[in-house]
Amino acid sequence: MKKRIDQINQLIQEEIGKIILREIEVSKDAMITVTRVETYSDLRHGTVYVSMLHKEKESQALGELNRTIYDIQYILNRTL
């Protein structure tokens, strides 16, 4: 079961990275990277960890991500 969850986490990490890069209007200066994803064993909830390069743009980029979280979820659900 652990291997399956790890594979799912990797897939979600890649897809969210693609979504942020292509579909979501986040500051291009922020350089956001999805570093890891942790999904619960029931696959109903998970946590996505991100990293940003430019610390001065961090709060603005996090605000933009929080505003578009439901759009990201919708696109991810459609993709998976």
Segment 10-54, tens digit of pLDDT: 999 999 999 988 887 776 677 888 999 999 988 889 999 998 887
pTM of the shown model:
0.85
Q: What is the pLDDT of residue 47?
A: 94
For residue 35, give the nearest of 21, 49, 25 by alpha carbon.
49
Q: What is the pLDDT of residue 27?
A: 66
Q: How confident is the model at residue 8 (pLDDT cuts 50, 70, 90)?
A: very high
